[in-house]
C-alpha cells in the first residue's frame, strides 16, 4: 500500500490520529465533529486556558455546549494540549489559526507562519495537512508547501498531502453547522484532494472537491466578498434613501417580495466580525501583485467603514432637530456584539460608534447580555450596565447597534427619551414614531 492508500484506509476505519492547530470558533467545532465521527482528535493551542478548559471537558464556545463536549473528552476522542510535539504522531493536521489584518490593512500572516513553523518541525511521511484559515489565493502553495514539504525533502501528493478547505461556520446559527454545511476541498495535487476528501468526508456530510487549492481559497473569498459588496451597496442605498426622504426598510421589504433574482441584505452601522470586513481585503492585497485594483472591494470597504461615522452624524442631526446638543448628553448603546445573539465583539462597529460619540463629548454606557465587559479602541475598560431599564430611562439617546432577540423593544421604547435605531431593531414600532430615528 502506498502512503495515499494507507492514509485513506486509516480515515475509513477511523484509526487516524487527527490534530487541530487553533481551538477557537472554527477549530473547536471542527474538532467536535471529527471526534463525534470517531476520529481521535488532539486540539493544540498555545493558549493554556483553552487547553485546560477542554481538558476538563468545559466549552468556551457558545455553539458547542459543554454537554456535547464533555462525553468526547471522557471517552478519549478529544484531547487538548499546548505541546506541539504531539504532531510527530499525527496522521492529519487542520490549521485553524486567526488571519487578521495589520494596522496598515495588509494581511497578518504571522499566525499561519508560526503554526506552519511548528508543524514543519514534526513533518513526516504519511501525513495530510489542511489549511482552513481564510487567506489570499496562493497561500497553501506559496507558503505552506515549501515550508512543510520541500524543506523536509518530502514529495507532496506521494509522501504527504496538502489541501485548502475553507471554514464556513456562521456562529450562532443552528440550521447550518460544521457538520451539514457542504465543505469545499481543493488539493495541491489530485491525490491531495482525494486524501483530504476521504478525511473530511468521514465526518462532514457533503464534500465538494475542486481542482486546486487556489480554487478553494478563491471560493471562500467570493462568498465573503459577495456579502461585503452587497452590504456596502445596501448601506449606500440607505444613505441615498435618507437624502430623498424615502424609507429604506420599506424599499427593501418591497424588493424582497420578488421571488427570484433578488437577495435581501440590510443596512447597519458598519461591518463586524472576523470575516466579512477582513477577508476580501486579503484578495485586494494579493491582486496588487498582479497590478490589479479590486474596485468593488475597495468601494464597499470604504462605504462600510464610514457607516459608524454616518450613524453618529445622523444622531447629531436628530438631536439638533429636537433642540438638544450632543455634547454633554448621555447615551446608552444597546447591543455591542458584531451581530445578534452572539458573544463576539471582534471588529464590531459598536466600538467605533462608542469612540466617535465619546470624542463628541457624550457620556457613553452600553448594555449587552452577551458581552459583560469590553475594551474601547482607546484602551478603556467598560462594563455592561447592570440594570438595563434604568439605564434606558437615564439616557438622552439610546442607540440600537445590535438587534439581539432577547430585548423587549416595546418596553425600551416606552422608557426611552429618544432612540436611534441603526438596525430597524424596533421594526413597526419605530416607524413614524417621533421618539425614533431610523437609519
Find the residue with minimal CB distance to ligand NAD. Answer: 24
Marked catalytic residue, from 96, 241, 275, 331: 275
Query: With helix as H, strand as E and coil as C, how does the chain read?
Result: CCHHHHHHHHHHCCCCEEEEECCCCCHHHHHHHHHHCCCEEEEECCCHHHHHHHHCCCCCCCCCCHHHHHHHHHCCCEEEECCHHHHHHCCEEEECCCCCECCCCCECCHHHHHHHHHHHHCCCCCEEEEECCCCCCCHHHHHHHHHHCHHHCCCECCCEEEEECCCCCCCCCCCCCCCCCCEEEEECCHHHHHHHHHHHHCCCCCEEEECCHHHHHHHHHHHHHHHHHHHHHHHHHHHHHHHHCCCHHHHHHHHCCCCCCCCCCCCCCCCCCCCCCCHHHHHHHHHHCCCCCCHHHHHHHHHHHCHHHHHHHHHHHHHHHCCCCCCCCEEEEECCCCCCCCCCCCCCHHHHHHHHHHHCCCEEEEECCCCCEEECCCCCEEECCCCHHHHHHHCCEEEECCCCCCCCHHHHHHHCCCEEECCCCCHHHHCCCCCEEEC
Beta carbons of 217 and 186 less than 8 angstroms apart: yes
Judged by CB, which is closer to ligand NAD: 21, or 412? 21
Give min distance, CB of 222 to ligand NAD, in A: 14
Q: Residue 17, by phi and psi: left (phi above 0), alpha (psi -120 to 50) or beta?
A: beta
C-alpha cell at 147: 515550508
Give min distance, CB of 216 to ligand NAD, in A: 13
Judged by CB, which is closer to ligand NAD: 36, or 108? 108
Judged by CB, which is closer to ligand NAD: 98, or 430? 98
Judged by CB, which is closer to ligand NAD: 45, or 421? 45
Give min distance, CB of 24 to ligand NAD, in A: 2
Q: CA-CA distance, 233 to 252, in Å (whole number)?
A: 12
Give min distance, CB of 184 to ligand NAD, in A: 12
Judged by CB, which is closer to ligand NAD: 25, or 161? 25
Nearest to 166 by CA among 180, 178, 149, 175: 178
Q: CA-CA distance, 414 to 114, in Å (whole number)?
A: 53
Beta carbons of 112 and 147 less than 8 angstroms apart: no
275 assigned to active site: yes
Give min distance, CB of 180 to ligand NAD, in A: 15
Contacts with ligand NAD, residue ranges (CB under 6 A): 21-27, 44-47, 50, 96-99, 111, 114-115, 118, 132-134, 167-169, 171, 274-275
Judged by CB, which is closer to ligand NAD: 178, or 329? 178
Judged by CB, which is closer to ligand NAD: 24, or 186? 24
Report, as residue numbers or ranges, the catalytic residues.
275
Amino acid at each position: 500500500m502506498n502512503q495515499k492508500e494507507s492514509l485513506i484506509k486509516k480515515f475509513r476505519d477511523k484509526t487516524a490520529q487527527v490534530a487541530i492547530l487553533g481551538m477557537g470558533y472554527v477549530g473547536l467545532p471542527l474538532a467536535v465533529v471529527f471526534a463525534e465521527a470517531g476520529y481521535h482528535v488532539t486540539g493544540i493551542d498555545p493558549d493554556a486556558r483553552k487547553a485546560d478548559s477542554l481538558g476538563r471537558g468545559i466549552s468556551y464556545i457558545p455553539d458547542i455546549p459543554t454537554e456535547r463536549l464533555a462525553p468526547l473528552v471522557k471517552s478519549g476522542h478529544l484531547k487538548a494540549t499546548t505541546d506541539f510535539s504531539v504532531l510527530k504522531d499525527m496522521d492529519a493536521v487542520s490549521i485553524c489559526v486567526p488571519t487578521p489584518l495589520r494596522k496598515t490593512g495588509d494581511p497578518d500572516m504571522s499566525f499561519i507562519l508560526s503554526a506552519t513553523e511548528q508543524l514543519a518541525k514534526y513533518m513526516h511521511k504519511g501525513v495530510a495537512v489542511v489549511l482552513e484559515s481564510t487567506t489570499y489565493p496562493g497561500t497553501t502553495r506559496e507558503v505552506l508547501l515549501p515550508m512543510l514539504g520541500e524543506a523536509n525533502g518530502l514529495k507532496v501528493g506521494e509522501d504527504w498531502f496538502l489541501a485548502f478547505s475553507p471554514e464556513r461556520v456562521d456562529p450562532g446559527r443552528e440550521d447550518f453547522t460544521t457538520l451539514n454545511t457542504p465543505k469545499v476541498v481543493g488539493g495541491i495535487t489530485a491525490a491531495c484532494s482525494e486524501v483530504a476528501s476521504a478525511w473530511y468526508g468521514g465526518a462532514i456530510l457533503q464534500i465538494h472537491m475542486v481542482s486546486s487549492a487556489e480554487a478553494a481559497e478563491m471560493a471562500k473569498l467570493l462568498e465573503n466578498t459577495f456579502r461585503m459588496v452587497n452590504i456596502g451597496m445596501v448601506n449606500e442605498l440607505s444613505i441615498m434613501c435618507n437624502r430623498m426622504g424615502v424609507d429604506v426598510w420599506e424599499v427593501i421589504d418591497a424588493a424582497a417580495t420578488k421571488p427570484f433574482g433578488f437577495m435581501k441584505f440590510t443596512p447597519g452601522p458598519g461591518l463586524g466580525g472576523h470575516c466579512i470586513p477582513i477577508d476580501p481585503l486579503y484578495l485586494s492585497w494579493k491582486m496588487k501583485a498582479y497590478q490589479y485594483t479590486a474596485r468593488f472591494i475597495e468601494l464597499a470597504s470604504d462605504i462600510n467603514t464610514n457607516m459608524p461615522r454616518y450613524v453618529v452624524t445622523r444622531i447629531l442631526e436628530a438631536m439638533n432637530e429636537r433642540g438638544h446638543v450632543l455634547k454633554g448628553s448621555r447615551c446608552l448603546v444597546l447591543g455591542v456584539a458584531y451581530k445578534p445573539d452572539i458573544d463576539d465583539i471582534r471588529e464590531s462597529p459598536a466600538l467605533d460608534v462608542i469612540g466617535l460619540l465619546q470624542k463628541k463629548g457624550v457620556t457613553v454606557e452600553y448594555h449587552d447580555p452577551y458581552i459583560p465587559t469590553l475594551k474601547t479602541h482607546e484602551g478603556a475598560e467598560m462594563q455592561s450596565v447592570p440594570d438595563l431599564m434604568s439605564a434606558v430611562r437615564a439616557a438622552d439617546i439610546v442607540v440600537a447597534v445590535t438587534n439581539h432577540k432577547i430585548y423587549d423593544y416595546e418596553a425600551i421604547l416606552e422608557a426611552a427619551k429618544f432612540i436611534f435605531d441603526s438596525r430597524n431593531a424596533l421594526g413597526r414600532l419605530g416607524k413614524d414614531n417621533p421618539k425614533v430615528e431610523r437609519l
